[in-house]
Amino acid sequence: HGPAYLDASQPVAVRVHDLMSRMSLDDKLGQMTQAERAAITDPADIATYRLGSLLSGGGSVPTPNTARSWADMYDGFQRAALTSPLHIPIIYGVDAVHGHNNVHGATIFPHNIGLGATRDPRLVERIGDAVAEEVAGTGVDWDFAPCLCVARNDRWGRTYESFGETPELVSSMSTIIDGLQGRSLSSKGSVLATAKHYVGDGGTTGGVDQGDTELTEAQLRALHLAPFQAAVRRGVGSVMISFSSWNGVKMHANGYLITDVLKKELGFSGFVISDWQGIDKIDGQDGFTAEEVRASINAGVDMVMVPYDYVKFLGILRAEVESGGIPMSRIDDANRRILTKKFQLGLFERPFTDRRLTGTVGSQAHRALARQAVRESQVLLKNDGGVLPLDKRGQKIFVAGKNADDIGNQSGGWTISWQGSSGPITPGTTILQGIRDKARSSAVTYSRDGTGIDGNYDVAVAVVGETPYAEFMGDRPAGMGLDAEDLATLQRLKDSGVPVVVVLVSGRPLDIATELPGWDALLASWLPGTEGGGVADVLFGDYNPTGKLPVTWMRSAGQQPINVGDGQDPLFPYGYGLRYRGR
Ligand code: GLC
């Protein structure tokens, strides 16, 4: 019968050893190379260059952008990969960070900051399970999630990708890894998870994205390494390196933290992938050099997310191995790690999309789970005079605000496109629609800027906050207050004398202490995703809010960074959250 590596009854270690004994140097170097799908002009190049992996960057989608079209795209790339002499399948990665968020029609769950507010690790595990089904249903085998960043400065544009500001809370949510990877990687609907970004991405000075984390090793370990220890214990299959630096040293070239700490001390046996052009940034100049390839691979990076000029990368990598700049033992270690995951995923036996799962994309069951997550993520911060919960009947409700009727705004970044965008970008229920669905026999009026409000209304609900952003585009080094449009809307409502309920749709706490006294109620909604009905469930009391702040809420932006235990006086403390009384 055929070679041992194709015999699924053999132990994975035996299969890896047999396969590697048959691989040429080019086969091995190719496995360490990841290309963006858009860089593949001719699928035959996948086999020609022996590429081990492809990815979709944020918003890099097939046309049409449907689950079926994704599955066909994936299978096309995989068929091309399998024409290589040893028929080694590719592993395909995407950022499914709050649902399979690149795909039109997929279920969009609350971003991690809202999941942190739920304090419900079991719910988060179930979300991982659902996301993995939708991802696998499109062929994709690998999810660049969860971000296990500990957001210490809310100015950081990726604060919403964090489960919260304490390592304990973030570690508790590593259950999502069990949901994504399943009981075993080869089981149906399992995908490889990625603990990212290693390490200290949420601790940079000033909250500058890709900045410098200036901490002692003891502080770095206590605050930022702990969640990765939890992830390794759960068997996370991959780790992505952070763009940021630790005390001035780029993480992508940090052999001590990647090899000595992550791989040896923590015993991480999966594989390490660089971030997007992460090795290019080691020298602070555009493009990657032989020095950067050598530094990152020798530091312990196993696979490089090039992701465009993979021919140049392979040329440099080969030259470095031939010159001895990179030892063959490092190449073999990287291949062993990568191939072990491919065998464990069952990619050699089942390289193509499991079409039984394609129909789960955006399914009612997953949307119901997402709505439960939305309910549990809402944090009630103020409720003077019991203005909440609203009445479903007999109330005249006035709804205003730019985030009331906007799926894009309530989903935030990493939705359909990398940065996300306003508007009806994917099917879902806006918060306004959720309110209308609830208040069947109450009158609901909507006016984005509040024009038309008068004393005849019983209550005004203003849904305000941030518009979508991702990564460094979301850094807020200056003010952290509401924008002019929201302030004008709120003023109009306040002038009417009608009680005002504010629903804040944002990726982080905002600087609202000055305006707060004019509000009767405040609900932190975070970035709830497509199931805005969950916000209405809380507004109308069908769910008594249980959410607790995952991050300290500043009294003013000047307090940043502000975190539990730092002795500062916040507007609302970490862990704060009100319930409806007498229920
Ligand atoms: C991005 C992000 C990372 C993501 C990767 C691929 O720049 O830093 O979180 O997984 O590139 O999209």
C-beta of residue 188 within 8 angstroms of C-beta of residue 137:
no
Cβ-based burial of 134 (10 A; exposed 0-12, middle 13-18, buried ≥19) = buried
Whole-number Å distance, alpha carbon 390 to ligand 1 midpoint, is 41
Alpha helices, H only, 481-532:
484-496
- Model pLDDT for residues 34-79, shown as the tens digit of each residue: 999 999 999 999 999 999 999 999 999 999 999 999 999 999 999 9
The one-character DSSP state at 124 is H
Q: d(Cα 527, Cα 337) in Å, to the nearest integer?
A: 36
Residue 502 pairs in a beta bridge with 462, 522
Q: Quick: pLDDT tens for 404-433.
A: 999 999 999 999 999 999 999 999 999 999
Q: Which residues 6+ apart lie within 8 Å of 511 measured at CB?
A: 479, 480, 481, 554, 556, 557
Ligand 1 atom closest to 276 (CA):
11
From 37, 140, 144, 194, give the residue whose CB has the most ligand 1 atoms within 8 Å, as the site to mutate. Answer: 144
Answer for the pair 528, 376: CB distance below 8 angstroms, yes or no: no
Contacts (Cβ under 8 Å, ≥6 apart) of 540: 389, 390, 391, 392, 435, 438, 439
Residue nearest to atom 6 of ligand 1 (CA): 57
Ligand 1 atom closest to residue 57's alpha carbon, by position in its atom list: 12
pLDDT of residue 494: 97
Tokens of 137: 């249903």
Distance in angstroms (rounded) separating the CA atoms of residues 195 and 232? 9
Alpha-carbon radius of gyration of the chain? 24
> Helices 364-377 and 121-136 sit at what angle, rounded to 10 degrees?
150
Helices (H), 451-507: 484-496
Give the tokens for residue 546: 């249980």
Q: Which atom of ligand 1 approaches the CA of 144 most closely? A: 10
Please answer whether residues 450 and 493 qualify as being in contact, where contact means their C-beta atoms are separated by less than 8 angstroms. yes
Residue 301 has pLDDT above 60, yes or no: yes
- Residue 441, pLDDT > 80, answer no
pLDDT per residue as tens digits for the range 191-231: 999 999 999 999 999 999 999 999 999 999 999 999 999 99
> Which amino acid would we find at residue 132?
A
CA triple 510-516-517, angle to 5 deg: 165
Q: How many CA atoms lie within 13 A of 470 on its CB side?
A: 19
From 120, 129, 275, 520, active-site residue: 275
| Integer Cα distance of 324 and 532 in angstroms | 57
Strands (E), 393-454: 393-400, 441-446
> Which among 36, 37, 95, 201 is the best mutation to test ligand 1's pocket, defined by most ligand atoms within 8 Å of the CB?
95
Residue-level pLDDT at 204: 98
Q: What is the mean pLDDT of the chain?
A: 98
Which SS3 state, helix, strand or coil, does residue 119 take? coil
Check if 260 is active-site.
Answer: no
Could you identify the atom of ligand 1 that is nearest to the CA of residue 95?
10
**Residue with the two structure tokens 């991050």:** 551
- Residues within a 6 A CB radius of ligand 1: 57-58, 95, 144, 196, 275-276
Whole-angstrom distance, CA of residue 269 vs CA of residue 510: 40
Q: Which tokens in the block code for residue 324?
A: 């001895």
Using most ligand atoms within 8 A of CB, pick from 275, 281, 415 the residue to mutate for ligand 1: 275
- Nearest-CA residue for ligand 1 atom 7 is 276
Going by CA atoms, what residue is nearest to atom 8 of ligand 1?
275
Please give the distance, rounded to the nearest whole angstrom, from the Cα atom of residue 426 to the centre of ligand 1.
22
Report yes or no for ipTM above 0.85.
Answer: yes
Give the Cα separation of 108 and 186 in Å (integer): 25
The pLDDT score that the predictor gives to residue 1 is 75
Strands, E assignment, 290-377: 304-305
pTM: 0.98
Ligand 1 atom at minimal distance to the Cα of residue 196? 9
Q: How crowded is residue 496: how many other Cβ atoms within 10 Å of its Cβ?
A: 17
State yes or no: cis peptide before 459, omega within 30 of 0. Answer: no
Distance (Å) from CA 37 to ligand 1 centroid:
14
What mean pLDDT do residues 111-115 have? 99
